Amino acid sequence: MADRNSDQATSILAEPVRFPSEEEFPRRYRLLRRNMILIMVAVTILPLVMMAVINHYEYQQALRREIITPMRSLVSKTQHSFELFLTERLSAVSFIASAYSFEELSDQKTLNRIFHVMKDKFGGFVDLGLIDSFGVQKSYVGPYSLEGKTYMDHDWFREVTVRGEHISEVFMGYRKFPHFVIAIRTENQIGENWILRATIDTEKFNSLIASMGLDSSSDAFIVNHSGVFQTSSRFYGKVLERFPMPMPPINYETDVVETMDPQGHPILLAYKYFLSPSFVLMLAKPRSEVLKSWYTLKSEILIIFIVSVLLIFLVVFKITDILVKRIEISDRERLVTYHEIEHTNKLASVGRLAAGVAHEINNPMAIINEKAGLLQDLIETMPTFERKEKFLKLTESINACVDRCSTITHRLLGFARRMDVEIETIDLNEVVQEVYGFLEKEAFHRNIEVRLNLDKELPEISSDHGQLQQVFLNILNNAFSAVEDGGSIAITSRRQDPELVSVSIEDNGIGMSEETMSRIFDPFFTGRKGYGTGLGLSITYGIIKKLGGHIEVNSREGKGTTFTVFLPKSAKQEAEA
Amino acid sequence: MNKIKVLLVDDEQEFVSTLAERLEFRDIETLVAMNGEQALHLIEEHKPPLVVLDVLMPGIGGLDVLKRIKRKHPEIQVILLTGHGSTKDGIKGMYQGAFDYLMKPVNIEELINRMNEALEPSKLRSR
């Protein structure tokens, strides 16, 4: 397509200066934008992330401590209750063993009475028996008939013989209830010794565990050192079944470990080993339950974190976008101003050159004028002579040429003079004709028909002659480059209303697309790459705005283009407003 | 009307002498000066009623000469010739008392018309 925006006025007069092309601009600003975003995001997000992470761990630890401590103390307290209970039972049996002699205890009646008192006062006793130092059951009160039974080879008998007392692990006894045994060896002054053995059910164990007041997801139970349940567990097995997890390391202080239950759920396990018997009290809580509040908080923190990160990104992007756009715009504006100045300077120097040349030519032209005039005078005063008419024609033709030359020099001088910005009274028709004068020769050579439909009644306006010249020169130049040889251009001046006049320049050239039309007044937009600076119409637009007018463009591809310049009758008022 | 007497001032000798000769043809008496000083000298000597003065001259410029003429002899009429497309100098000259200004190259008939107008007593009074 033809370059509607080429700045021929400049390119005719001097080499157009090369400027960074359209494509080079975005890359620079993209880079700038990217760097700014990276730095800003890094500076804002990094501390936020660090803070969130630190907070996360700090809080997790604090919360864990807060949850673990009660678990630990609960286990300690309960274990203490167990020991108290066991000691009490042990003392009771021990007291009986010491308070009565072997003979008294051997008596079935006495033993029966004692058994019933104990059952009554302490509860939980299932049977009571006396065993002599050879391990033979001497007397027995209880649901079995065990008299005469020998315990010589039993482990507990050996232990009680050595240690003096024994508390057994839990076993399934009478009526399929879990029981345990307490045995005490007593020695009298003469060295005889015997063993009092009582069986107690584990009802009390359950009530001790129940007194811990656990919630439904927690579980407390006792296992022995080799991992057999001594009480039933809520989740992990019945009494005398195997504890399904590895035993925690032996620790006679309460400890809490994190482990996995057989279902694979993470749990917190608080435990304490008994000194004697070989019990371990355990309290298991699912970790998810324990840290539920923490997880809730964590998700809240996460949401806040994500929202603020998004917000930061949004703000950073927006701010950077605005900033970079501002920079881009101001860069462009600066460049445009720079080029406008350069353009003006160029025109000014061209003007000075033209003025110099015109003036130099003007003087000899004046002499030629006078000489030819004198020659004419001389010929006219002479009497008729041969070829007098021919001579007169020659001098006339010289005069005509001088007139033509002086028109040209005056026009050049006028052009130079009008480089200075000033508001004066102007006949727009005259300006249009002057500008057309510059292009008349081109029109002639390219056989372009230029019609001037100038309104004779057009009111004079006050505006800047030189600037308007440039405006029309730019538009007319574009029209000339848009039309084919033999095309036509119409220049029409019209009075729109009392305060507004217009000049439209219509061509039947190649026209342009909507998209091009929307951009022709943008600086650096050129239809043809590398042709012109793309400033011609931008400057034109700027000048018209400055003079208080406006410009309209109408174009159809393949049909032609019409530029219409509207100017107020008085530029000054509008320009100052 | 008496024979017009005019002083022509221009630094281009060819121009001024030819113009003088043409004016002589038309019964106008001419004096010729090639520069400002010479012009002022001739004015003192001959007191011409009319001066045709080129604006752009080396030495004392046309506008300076005009100023001096008007200061000493306000009755002398001055027509300016400008080779400088500028109407500015012409207008400036008219503010300083010049009768009119013409652009070079100048049409002889027009010049004579202006000269006649300048010397018309009625015009003199009206200015």
What's the pLDDT tens digit per position in A82-98? Answer: 999 999 889 988 888 88
Q: How confident is the model at residue A3 (pLDDT cuts 50, 70, 90)?
A: very low
Amino acid residing at B69: I
Average pLDDT, chain A: 82
Lookup result for tokens 């009475």: A113
The per-residue b/e assignment along A339-351, b for 16 or more CB within 10 angstroms, e otherwise, is bbeebbebbeebb
Nearest by CB to B18, which of A363, A367, A416? A367
What's the confidence (pLDDT) of residue A573?
44
Residues 384-423 of A with CB under 8 A from B: 402, 406, 409-410, 412-414, 416-417
| pLDDT at residue B8 is higher than 90 | yes
Q: How far apart are CA A339 and CA A526, in angstroms?
A: 15
Residue A194, token pair as written in the block: 């015997």
Tell me what pLDDT residue A419 has: 53
Predicted confidence at residue A12, as pLDDT, reads 39
The pair phi, psi for residue A504, each rounded to 5°, is -115, 145
Q: How confident is the model at residue A398 (pLDDT cuts 50, 70, 90)?
A: very high
- One-letter amino acid identity for A347? L
Question: For position A255, what pLDDT does the model report?
Answer: 87
pLDDT at A535 over 80: no
Distance CA B46, CA A465 (A): 44
Task: Using pLDDT thresholds of 50, 70 and 90, give the confidence band for residue B123.
Answer: very low
Yes or no: say if A488 and A507 are a contact pair by the CB < 8 Å rule.
yes
Q: Give bridge partners of residue A184 from the DSSP assignment.
A: A165, A196
Chain B residues in contact with A425 by the CB 8 A cut-off are: none
Q: State whether A359 and B21 contact (CB < 8 Å).
A: no
pLDDT at A503: 92
Q: How far is A425 from chain B (nearest CA, A)?
A: 14
CA distances from A204 to A178, A179, A198, A209, A210 (A): 11, 11, 15, 9, 10
CA atoms of B105 and B23, how far apart (whole Å)? 15
Q: How many CB atoms lie within 10 A of CB A154?
A: 13
Indicate the pLDDT class of residue A289, thresholds 50, 70 and 90.
Answer: low
Interface probe with A: pick from B8, B10, B14, B23, most Cβ of A within 10 Å: B14
Q: Which residue from A429, A425, A438 is spatially nearest to A465, judged by alpha carbons?
A: A425
Q: What is the DSSP letter of A229?
A: B
Structural domains present in chain A: 100-205 (3.30.450.20), 214-290 (3.30.450.20), 348-576 (3.30.565.10)
Is residue A372 within 8 angstroms of chain B, CB to CB? no
Q: What is the mean predicted confidence (pLDDT) over A564-575?
A: 72
Contact A370 B19 (CB under 8 A): yes
- The rounded percent of chain B whose pLDDT value lies above 70 is 89
Per-residue pLDDT at A574 exceeds 50: no
Q: How confident is the model at residue A469 (pLDDT cuts 50, 70, 90)?
A: confident
Q: Does residue A398 or residue A156 have the better pLDDT?
A: A398
Q: What is the pLDDT of residue A291?
A: 67
Kindly report the length of chain A.
577
CA dihedral (A57, A61, A64, A68) in degrees, to 10, reads 160
For residue B49, give the nearest of B95, B2, B108 by alpha carbon: B2
- Predicted TM-score (pTM) of the model is 0.46
Q: Are B96 and B66 in contact (CB under 8 A)?
A: yes
Residue from the list A368, A374, A417 with its beta carbon closest to the beta carbon of B86: A417
The dihedral built from the CA positions of residue A87, A88, A93 and A96, taken in this order, carries a sign that is positive
- In the prediction, which pLDDT does A2 show? 42
**Interface contact A368-B105, CB threshold 8 A:** yes
Q: Please check the confidence at residue A1 and state whether its pLDDT lies above 60.
A: no
Q: Is the pLDDT of residue B1 over 60?
A: no
* CB within 8 Å: A363 and B83: yes
Please enumerate residues of B whose Cβ is less than 8 A from a Cβ of A: 12, 14-15, 18-19, 21-22, 25, 56, 83-86, 88, 103-106, 108
Contact status of A39 with chain B (Cβ, < 8 Å): no
CA A37 to chain centroid: 9
Give the pLDDT confidence of A481-495 residue by residue, as tens digits. 888 888 899 999 988
Q: Any chain B CB within 8 A of the CB of A9? A: no
Of B19, B25, B83, the CB nearest to A381: B25
> In angstroms, rounded to a whole number, what is the distance separating the alpha carbons of residues A468 and A536?
13
Q: In this predicted model, which residue has the larger pLDDT, A297 or A477?
A: A477
Q: Which of A352, A353, A361, A363 to mutate to test the interface with B (most CBs of B within 10 A)?
A: A363
Contacts with A362 from chain B: Cβ below 8 Å: 83, 104-105
Backbone torsions φ then ψ of A230, nearest 5 degrees: -100, -25
pLDDT tens-place string over residues A160-214: 888 888 888 888 876 678 888 999 988 877 878 889 999 988 888 888 888 888 8
Q: Which residue of B has its CA nearest to A363?
A: B83
Query: Count of CB contacts below 8 A, A vs B?
Result: 63
DSSP states along A271-304: EEE-SSSSEEEEEEEEHHHHTHHHHHHHHHHHHH
For residue A144, is pLDDT > 90?
no
Q: Quick one: residue A281, left, alpha or beta (phi over 0 = left, psi -120 to 50 = alpha)?
A: beta
- The answer to whether B83 contacts A406, with C-beta atoms less than 8 Å apart, is no
The predicted pLDDT at position A192 comes to 80
Q: Is the CB of residue A363 less than 8 Å away from at least one CB of chain B?
A: yes
pLDDT band at B87 (very low <50, low <70, confident <90, very high): low
- Looking at residue A443, its pLDDT comes to 87
Note whether A212 and A78 are within 8 A (CB). Answer: yes
Kindly give the interhelix angle for A536-546 and A292-381, rounded to the nearest 10 degrees.
90
Structural domains of chain B ordered from first start: 5-106 (3.40.50.2300)
A365 in B contact zone (CB under 8 Å): yes
pLDDT at A416 over 70: no
Torsion of CA A167, A169, A170, A171, to 10 degrees: -110
The closest alpha carbon to A160, from A100, A94, A95, belongs to A94
Q: Which residues of B touch A410 (CB under 8 A)?
A: 85, 103
- How many whole angstroms separate alpha carbon A356 and alpha carbon A321? 52
Does residue A105 contact residue A185 with C-beta atoms inside 8 Å?
A: no
What is the per-residue pLDDT for A534?
Answer: 64
Shortest distance between the Cα of A13 and any Cα of chain B, in A, equals 21
User: Which range among A17-31, A152-166, A349-363, B30-44 shows the weakest confidence by mean pLDDT?
Assistant: A17-31
Residue A432 reports pLDDT greater than 60: yes
Of B85, B86, B108, which is closest to A409 when you measure between CB atoms?
B85
Q: Give residue A333's pLDDT.
A: 84
CA dist list (Å): A552 to A425, A469, A541, A545, A549 = 24, 18, 10, 12, 10
pLDDT in tens, A42-64: 998 898 889 888 888 888 788 77
Work out the pLDDT band at B121, boundaries 50, 70, 90: low
